[in-house]
Amino acid sequence: MIISTLLNLQLLMATAVISGDNCKLPEPPAEAGETQAHGVILYTYPRSHAISSLYDGCQSQWFLDEGNFRKLNIAHLRNGESAVNRSGSYSLSSRDCIAE
């Protein structure tokens, strides 16, 4: 029970971390960077060079799938450093990588 409580507390703390500038963008803005990987164009916003050591928010990657943008990855940054990285999921799950 103690382990379960601690895991639930860690998930609640991680959920609270996922907020800030650009965390709820449904699709990339026009200023997003574009790169190609394995034949797919990835859109990243904000661009890495625009993130300062004071930035608290998210950096997301999208790809275009049959005319719709799908979010591939979202990294939450605190003071310009990655705190939580979520891949392929919109809800907190085992795919989240939480920096300690």
CA distances 45 to 5, 6, 36, Å, are 35, 33, 15
DSSP string, 29-80: -TT-EEEEETTEEEEEES-GGG--TT--EEEEEEEEETTEEEEEEEEEEETT
pTM of the predicted protein model: 0.70
pLDDT in tens, 28-66: 999 999 999 888 899 999 999 999 999 999 999 999 888
Per-residue tokens: 50: 């625009």
